[in-house]
Amino acid sequence: MRFDVFSLFPEVFQPYLEISILKRAIANGLIDVQTHNIRDWATDRHHTTDDTPYGGGGGMVMKPEPVFGAVESVLGAPPSCPVIMLSPQGELFNQTIARELATYEHLALLCGRYEGFDERIREHLATRVISIGDYVLTGGELPALIVMDAVARLQPGVLGDREATDDDSFSSDGLLEYPQWTKPAEFRGWSVPEVMQQGNLGEQLKWKRQQSLIRTWKWRPDLLEKANLSDKDRKFLKKYLEDSATDRSGL
């Protein structure tokens, strides 16, 4: 899979791409990341990429000419792949979107700065606008890295074990992941649950599922509305909530 990233600060990406899983994925030819400096397509002698907004207001706005020039020079006109604009005004990024984007062979990521992009870039160049959360950052580089990481790890072979993503939080069943432990079995008096130390795989799988249900209910109950729950899941949750209510009433 190829990522073309357009930014005023492309040097931000290299340190992260030169470590761990993404480094190996690039070395093995599983993903390809190309960064492009939008400033290289500015046509004036000062390489200007921003200007004051019409109608007043604070800050500067990224100009359309260098952004269109950069993207169309690399990807053609119209662009040969989806162009993802990173903006706090976009749809909220989640694992479902990551899986959708992972089906493409080629994606472009467009990183803004200052007060954002001239609206014509959104209307006539970007094919999708994505936000990583309801907050504002100084630029789109960190959001682009987050999207790239989430999408890249879903590519076959990137994690080594393709099934390693199936139990992740927000995976196909829509639940948070169950808690995890490793050795030693006891640390400072805190022990790994007995069921996880024993070799009964069936009981362990059952326990993991129940813990995912409990953790989701406690931390992200909104996810349960869309989660893929079986009748057994619903029965367990109902009993758990009833028992929890009884315990609270006895306090």
The residue from 72, 167, 168, 177 that is catalytic is: 168
Does 88 qualify as catalytic in the annotation? yes
The residue from 72, 115, 149, 167 that is catalytic is: 115
Does 186 qualify as catalytic in the annotation? no
Write phi, then psi, for 176 (nearest 5 degrees): -75, 155
The residue from 88, 113, 118, 143 that is catalytic is: 88
State the Cα–Cα distance between residues 121 and 75, nearest whole angstrom: 15
Does 248 qualify as catalytic in the annotation? no
* Spatial contact of 83 and 125, defined as CB atoms under 8 Å apart: yes
Tokens 């606008």: give the residue.
Answer: 129
Q: What is the dihedral of CA 50, 54, 59, 60, to 10 degrees?
A: 0
The residue from 50, 118, 153, 233 that is catalytic is: 153
State the Cα–Cα distance between residues 129 and 115, nearest whole angstrom: 16
From first CA to last CA, the distance across the chain in angstroms is 56
Does 177 qualify as catalytic in the annotation? no
Contacts 24+ apart (CB under 8 A), 134-137: 134/88, 134/92, 135/88, 136/88, 137/88
Q: Classify residue 180 by burial, with Cβ atoms within 10 Å: 0-12, 13-18, 19+.
A: exposed
What CA–CA distances, in Å, run from 216 to 118, 221, 234? 40, 6, 13
Q: Could you give the residue numbers annotated as active site?
A: 88, 115, 153, 168
